[in-house]
Amino acid sequence: MHRNTYRLRRGLMATAACLVLSAAVPALAAPLVPSEASRAYDLKSQPLAKALSEVARVSGRQVVVSSSLVRGKTAPALQGRYTADEAYAALLSGSGLKITPVGATLVVQPLRGDTPATGEPQAGDAEVLSELVVTGTRIRGEAPVGSTLISITRKDIDASGYASTQELLQALPQNYAGGASEGAASLSSRNGAAFNGGFGTGVNLRGLGNTSTLVLINGDRPAMGGVAGSFADLSLIPSTAIDHIEALADGASALYGSDAVAGVVNIVLRDRLDGGEARMRYGTADGDFSEVQASVMRGRVWERGYLTFAYEYLRRGRLAADDRAFAREDLRPFGGLDRRTGYASPGTIVAGGRNFAIPAGQNGVGLTAARLGADQVNRTDARLGADILPRQTRQSIYLSGGVDLDASTTLSARILGADRRYDLRRTPTWASQVTVPVSNPFYVDPLGARQPVRVQYRFADDLGAERSRGHISAVNGGADLTRRIGTWSVTGSAGYGREEDVTGGRNIVNTYRLNLALADTNPATAYNLFGGPRSTHPSTIDAIRGWTKGRGLYTVWTAGLKGDGELFDLPAGPLKLAVGYEHRSERYRNTSITYQTTADQRVSPVDYPGVRRIEAVYGELRAPLIGEGQAIPGVHRLDLSLAGRIEDYSDFGRTSNPKIGVNLETIAGLTLKGAYGTSFRAPSFQDQRLGPGLIQYFPFAVIDPKSPTGKTNVLFLLGNTPGIQPERAKTWTAGLEWRPPAAQGLRLNAGYFRVEYSDRIGAPNADALNMLINRDLYRGQLNETPSAGEIAGYYASPYLSNTSGIAAADIKAIANARTQNLSSLVQDGIDLDLAWQGRLRGDPVGLGVSGSYTFRVDKRFTAGSPSTDQVNTVGNPLKLRVRGRGSWSHGPWDLAAAVNVAGGYTNQTVSPARSVSSWTTVDLNVSYRLPEQDGLWSGVRLTLSASNLFDKDPPFVESVTPSSAIGFDTDNASAIGRVVAVTVIKPW
């Protein structure tokens, strides 16, 4: 009750702060608000698309329109001074089209059409006609040919009810949450989650890995986050500053280079805002979880330029494991096993191959062997007192501006800065049997042999919960100088990005200091492992308190020159070309400071490769081969796109990648699409790292269905394989877009995708515990008849880490779990988006459903291993993900709802394998806009939203890691539960 009262008080304080912010910011900014400026135009009669593009350039008001709406239409001449609205209205006069504002963007629609419905990500809606370039093409004013572009608009973002950028993208059916995410960072090691020490979140289209999806911010590559730049961190991007997000779930290395294997996500921030906006949001869920978000934006547009500023603050409370029943190691209540270990306080003595439980309720003084629990083990759930999600605080600042130097030259620049801090109470990372010498004054000998004994003990009860604390800071910026020459535009660009990840661990055992304290003969200062928690003197506990700190710095410099425009006219339209050159330099540095195994702190620079330099040239040709006016039966229009890119890498050589795309409009409203291309991913700095600090030989007992005891001792070889090469892929897409003229407002996008990956970089170490369960899959990585000499060689190595205490003679197999170029992966499936927008009794209504169905994910780890279909299993993409949506507007009221479905799958990481239930959640968003009038509340929008409205728990999955276990799958579900939020938006 006290907790709920406290949270309510915080909510009321947040609401009060929101009102103050809403009142103060407009008052301070009011003298700067200009009326909409009129500008001079001198446009001849020309194709409507070109005229709209020119007005967008001059006015700074972006316009979005489907190419099918303006195809074949001619705009009248336009001379004189007009506001943006007046200019667009003049161009569209008599065209059967109208302008509808959506936030800061203007949308062209048929006069008989309906306003866009609020909803969720919709595919293939529009292209941008201005100096902006749509993701998936380098040619201004054109949409990708052969591929479908998914667009998330500002209105979609507001209707979703989500607070963060990562939540928006995780709702995409094509995006798989496995890999780099804050939920998986402390609960999983699959799909590169172990490289996410700073609890960021990346994008993982098709489940091919965070490194196989290219993320852009305003079309620029940002600095990368995680260990060695493993992913682009979405959590640093302020969601309130986003104008729209474009996602292309298709290979695009022919246009963008490395990483664009699964696709590209471009996050476009809000520019040319003429006015201001203040926002305040407070959300809460069961437990101590809460969200506070506050932001302010201010923009001004004048005749020759624009300037936009945005600031966002986001604070998210921790999600404690104690607040979720399924976040336990003892999974018996859910049908699983008791996964608790014997590391407890009081602990367990291990001697002569037997266990002896130390009794509770005593402090170890005078303890005798007779009081020990022979052949018993004390157990503790390591999740108790730990967190599922860390407490996070983030601040972001965005500044963007541009100016027309003359009638044909524009200079623009933007910069995004962010700082994020986190704090997580984690499960113990060090759990090892501790050897207690006979000299210890609390020594107990259960066998009477007067030999050292080993004790399994939980030090977290003495030191306090281990903590992961750190901060992430990033700056990304760029500048462009554009010159327009006739139909051509030439742009020179430069950019810089820097991300620093400072991570740290606290309350870790310093094993050097611990061994000294165990050997101490003084009862007042010796470490006592034979009693309950804190049986040792506080000064001795403090003496063994260790810590770690790491600092990673990723920097990227870019420069480029690009030109695009019309070559000449074909019968069906102009032939367009884009050509460009790009240079990129990347570097990652890391320093580790530890106070864990030595008497003093140790500073260890980590050896990573030096600066990587990339030089690239690219070209894209777009040819309209057949047009509507050519009267060819069965063909209304045929467009062809050819693209290619050649890149030279300073560390591994040259790569070249082509792509071809085709659009064929057979009948009015029906367009068939197809594309083929090759893509690649360069090895990351982490993939190329070799030497000390990375190599490890790790003995461990794993589940083995063929063993009479149920387990087999395996020696795992961890690290990187020398000479890793780039990943290479071939991608195909084929689909259709159907907008039947007889069913106004109905749209269907459907498509097939196929990815053939070769030389894919990966390591089976994330699934190491299951290698003997899945022998066929890992056959090429297993040696089940190792020689004694081979085992002895590994055991004599300084890279051996034998925390389990397994003797060399007991090793029965060696597993090569190193990072390497694995042989192949083949994945295919279909995407679908069906939407309808219309009116019900005069009110705008929208319905839609989008989904992705993956047929297979065939993996082959070596050329000699069989191909195994891994789809619909733990650690891999699901067969089915669906998101349904609906919206309704009535006057000042807006209602949006969504249904999210994650299909059922199989947990193959336990033996026998178990089925996992599907998971369905509902989101609801209701908003009301107050009327425009004088006063504080004029135009204010109030929103009440609920994510996971019915508070549906994730389905039970017995998820086991080498150090712990938990009862749900972080890759396919969230432990947060229902989040109810109130948002207040004050525009001016």
Least confident of 9-18, 446-455, 735-744, 748-757: 9-18
Q: Which residues pair with 418 in a beta bridge?
A: 396, 474
pLDDT of residue 62: 67
Q: Is residue 123 pLDDT above 70, yes or no?
A: no
Report whether 244 contacts 217 (CB < 8 A). no
Answer for the pair 140, 564: CB distance below 8 angstroms, yes or no.
Answer: yes
Q: What is the pTM of this model?
A: 0.83
Region 724-751: mean pLDDT is: 93
- Count of Cβ atoms closer than 10 Å to residue 406 Cβ: 8
- What percent of the chain lies above the pLDDT cut of 70? 92
Q: Average pLDDT in the 510-539 region?
A: 97
Nearest alpha carbon to residue 728 among 633, 809, 821, 816: 821
What does the pLDDT read at residue 22?
A: 36
DSSP string covering 67-109: HHHHTT-EEPPEEEEE-HHHHHHHHHTTTTEEEEEETTEEEEE
Is pLDDT larger for residue 766 or for residue 149?
149
Measured between alpha carbons, how far is 425 from 802 in angstroms, rounded to an integer? 26
* Cα gap 352→67, rounded to integer Å: 79
Burial class of 539 by CB neighbour count within 10 A (0 to 12, 13 to 18, 19+): exposed
Which residues are 568's β-sheet partners?
575
pLDDT tens, position by position, 960-970: 887 789 999 99
Question: Is the omega angle on the peptide bond into residue 866 within 30 degrees of 0, that is, cis?
Answer: no
* Average pLDDT of span 229-247: 94
CB 802 within 8 A of CB 716: no
User: Do residues 313 and 322 lie in contact, with contact meaning Cβ atoms separated by under 8 Å?
Assistant: no
The number of helix segments (H) and strand segments (E) in the chain equals 13, 52
User: What number of other Cβ atoms are within 10 A of residue 662's Cβ?
Assistant: 17
Residue with tokens 């749509």: 134
CA distances from 878 to 188, 194, 718, 831, 881 (A): 17, 21, 28, 13, 7
Looking at residue 693, its pLDDT comes to 66
Give the tens place of pLDDT for each residue, 775-795: 887 887 899 999 999 999 999
pLDDT at 1: 40
Q: By the 8 A CB rule, do 224 and 231 touch? A: yes
Instruction: Note the pLDDT tens digit of each residue in 308-331.
Output: 999 999 999 999 999 999 999 999
- CATH code of the domain occupying 39-111+123-128: 3.55.50.30
Q: Name the helix (H) or strand (E) containing 54.
A: helix 48-59
- Of residues 923, 979, 952, 948, the one with CA closest to residue 287: 979
* Residue with token string 């490395």: 258
3-state secondary structure of 160: helix
Q: Where are the domains of the chain?
A: 39-111+123-128
Q: Quick check: 733 and 753 in contact, CB under 8 A?
A: yes
Identity of residue 262: A
Query: Which residues have a Cβ under 8 Å from the Cβ of 159 and sit 6 or more positions away?
Result: 118, 119, 120, 887, 894, 896, 925, 927
Distance CA 661, CA 148 (A): 11
Statement: residue 422 has pLDDT above 70: yes
Q: What average pLDDT does this structure show over 121-146?
A: 65
Q: How confident is the model at residue 33 (pLDDT cuts 50, 70, 90)?
A: very low
Polymer length of the chain: 988
580 and 562 Cβ atoms separated by less than 8 Å:
yes
Q: What does the pLDDT read at residue 185?
A: 81
Instruction: Report whether pLDDT(126) > 70.
Output: no
Angle at 381 between CA 379 and CA 386, to 5 degrees: 150
Give the DSSP letter of residue 450: -
Residues 914-926 have a mean pLDDT of: 98
In whole angstroms, give the CA distance from residue 816 to residue 865: 14
Picking from 261, 299, 461, the residue whose alpha carbon sits closest to that of residue 381 is 461
* DSSP per position, 114-159: -PPPP-S-EES--EE-SS---TT-SSTT-PPSSSPEEEEEHHHHHH
